[in-house]
Chains A and B, each alone.
Chain A
Amino acid sequence: MEFEKKENNQKDIVKKLELDTIQTKEELRKTKDELQLQMWGLAKTNEAIRVLYKELEKKNKELEKLDQLKSDFINSVSHELRTPLTSIREVISQILDGILGETNQQQREFLNICLADVDRLRRIIDDLLDISKLEAGKLKLSRADADIVGLAKRVISTFQAEFKSAGLEIKENFPQEKAVAYVDQDRIIQVFINLIGNAFKFTEKGYVDVSVIDWPGFVECSVADTGIGIGEEDLPKLFGKFQQFNRKDPGRIKGTGLGLSISKNIIELHRGQIEVESKLDKGTKFTFTLPKYNPQELYKEHIIEGIQKASSDKGYLSVSVFGIKNLSQIAKNIDNEKLHSATEGIINVIKKNLRFGEDLVIKDTHTVMIVLPGVEKQKAAEISQRIYQAIKDFLTQRKIELDVFNEVVSFPQDGDSQEKICDKLSSISGT
C-alpha cells in the first residue's frame, strides 16, 4: 500500500517533469522564433541605415557641390560686373581729366555723380563678395601683431578732408603707448572705415569720437557720434544684411547696407565682440573688442589647427624655429635694449623673406616660429636655410655678435600627433 502510493507519487513527478520539459521546450522554441524575428529585424534595420547613410553621403556631396557652385557663381558674377564697370569708370574719368577735350561745369557735375555711383556699385560688388565668403566660412584671416592705434589713425587721416568740409570734428582718444592685438590689419581697417564712414553719414553737426583702450587681454575700440541715432525698434536689425535706416542727406556717400553685417562677421572671426548703443537724436556708439593672445596659446592654436588640416587632407605641416644661441649666457653680457632691437631686426628679416600670407608666430621674446602649412620637411628646410642666411647677413652687416640657431619640426615625419609635435617644439632651445 505504502509502496504503491510512493510509486504513484513518483509517476506524478515524472509526468509533471515531462510536462515541464515540453513546456520549456515550447517556450524555448518560441523564444528562438522571436530571436530569429528580431535578428531579421535588426538585419533589415542595418540595411536601412546603410542605405540612409549612403543617401546622406550623396546629399552631403551634392550640398558641397552646390556650395562650390554658389561661390563660383558669385566669383564669376563679380568678375563679369567689374569688367564693364572698368570701362565705364575710365571713360568718365578720362572726360573729367580733360583727356578728351574741354567740359563745362554742369557736365563735370553730372559726370562726378556718375563716377560716385560707379564707385558705389563697385563697393556693393566687393561687399557682396565679402559677405558670401564670410557666410561660407571661406574668409581666411591673415593675422599678425598690429598696433590698433596706428590702424585707427590711418583710417582717420583718410576721412580728415571730408569731415572738414562737412564742418565736423574727429576726436581721438588714444593711449600713449601702442595697443597691440593679433589681427588681420586689412580687415580691421575695413571695420574702422565702415564705422567711421557710418558715423560721418549720420552726423550733421557735432563730432565723431574714435577711441582705443588697451586692457589686459584685449583691446577695446569705439566709434561714437552725435548724429541722428537709431530707434530702439531698429537696433536688433542693425547688424542684418541690407539694413538701412534714417538716411537723411541724399547728397552724401551712400552705403551698401552690408557694412555692419560684414563688420560684425569680421570682429567675430577674430573672436571679438561688437555692440551698439544708440538714442534717437542724440547719437550712436559702436564698441568692439579684439582679444590679444599670449604667444603660448597662439602658437599652439596655430599648430593644432594646421595639424588638423594636414591630417584630414593627408598633407604636411612644418614649423621652423629660429632663436638666439646660448641666450642665458649672452643675456649677461649684452644690455636688454640692444638684445631687443636685435630680435626686432631678426623678425623683420624673417618677415621680408617669407612668402605672403604665412603666419609668423612669436613664441616668446627670443624664439620665433614660422608655421608653414602644407610644406613638407625638405622644402621647409630649404626655406629655413634661405632665411637663416639672410639673418646671418643682417647680423654681420650690423656687426651684432649673436649666433642664431634654426630647427625644423615637421608633421608627420617628426611626430604623428599634435601632442608629439608640440612636445618636440617646446623642447627646442638654443642651449
Chain B
Amino acid sequence: MPKKILVADDEEHVLKLISARLKANSYEIITAIDGKEVIKKAVEEKPDLIILDIIMPGIDGINAFENLKKTEETASIPIIFITAFPSEELRHKIFELGAAGFVSKPFEAEDLLAKIKRALGQP
C-alpha cells in the first residue's frame, strides 16, 4: 500500500509540481488549496502525512495545524510545513508547535523527500 500524502498549497503551480514529484516517488496524493479544505480532507481521507503551506487565504497553515492537532481523528498525522516566508520567528514557532519538519521554498526535492521519509518512519 503506498502511503497517502495530503498536500496543501494555495499556489496551483506549486501544488501540481509537488504532486508530480511525490507520485513519481510512489506516494498517493490528495491535494487541498486552502486551510478549510485541508481540515476537511484530513478528516475524510485520513492521510499518512500532510505537507502544509503556511501562507494561505482564510485559515492559514498555522491555524489549520492547530485545528488538526486538536481534532482526535487527525491529531496523530505528522505535518511538514513548507513556506516561502522563512523568518526566524516563524521557524521558532514551528518548532514550538511540534511539526514533523520544515521545508523552505524554493525546496530541493531530495530534502523534501528525505523529510517525508523521516516523518513517515520509512528507511
Contact = CB atoms under 8 A, between A and B. Distances in A.
Interface string A334-375: 000000000000000000000111000000000000000000
Contacts of B106: 82, 85-86, 88-90, 118, 122
A356 B97 CA distance: 10
Nearest to A355: B96
A79 B92 contact: no
Contacts of A82: 84-85, 104-106
A79 B11 CA distance: 12
A311 to B, nearest CB: 22
Given A91-B17, A94-B17, A83 B105 contact: yes
A87 B14 contact: yes
Interface residues of A, number: 24
Interface of B: 11, 13-14, 17-18, 20-21, 24, 55, 84-85, 87-88, 91-92, 95-96, 104-109
A353 to B, nearest CB: 12
Given A79-B84, A357-B92, A86 B105 contact: yes
Given A83-B105, A94-B21, A140-B88, 12 more contacts: A82-B84, A83-B84, A86-B17, A86-B105, A87-B11, A88-B106, A90-B107, A90-B109, A97-B24, A99-B21, A142-B88, A356-B92
B21 A83 contact: no
B11 A83 contact: yes
Contacts of B96: 355-356
Q: Which of A84, A87, A118, A356 has the most CB of B within 10 A?
A: A87
Nearest to B91: A356
Given A82-B106, A83-B11, A90 B85 contact: no
Which are the 8 A-B pairs with shortest beta-carbon distances? A82-B84, A356-B95, A86-B105, A86-B106, A87-B13, A90-B17, A89-B106, A357-B92
A93 interface: yes
A142 B105 CA distance: 23
18 contacts: A78-B85, A79-B84, A79-B85, A83-B11, A83-B84, A86-B14, A87-B11, A87-B13, A88-B106, A90-B14, A90-B17, A90-B18, A90-B21, A90-B106, A94-B21, A142-B88, A355-B96, A356-B96
B88 A83 contact: no
Nearest to B95: A356
Nearest to B84: A82
Nearest to A98: B24
Contacts of B109: 90, 93-94, 97
B13 A99 contact: no
A83 to B, nearest CB: 5
By secondary structure, the B interface counts as helix
Interface in A407-428: none
Contacts of B107: 86, 89-90
A53 to B, nearest CB: 34
Contact of A86 (B24, B84, B91): B84
A97 B24 CA distance: 10
A335 to B, nearest CB: 37
Interface of A: 75, 78-79, 82-91, 93-94, 97, 99, 118, 122, 140, 142, 355-357
Contacts of B104: 82
Contacts of A86: 11, 14, 17, 84, 105-107
B9 to A, nearest CB: 9
Nearest to B18: A90
Nearest to A85: B106
A94 B55 CA distance: 25
Contact of B87 (A75, A83, A85, A122): A75
A355 B106 CA distance: 27
B105 A99 contact: no
B85 A75 contact: yes
Contacts of A122: 106
A75 B87 CA distance: 9
B35 to A, nearest CB: 17
Contacts of B20: 94, 99
A91 B104 CA distance: 17
Contacts of A78: 84-85
A83 B14 contact: yes
B51 to A, nearest CB: 13
B69 to A, nearest CB: 16
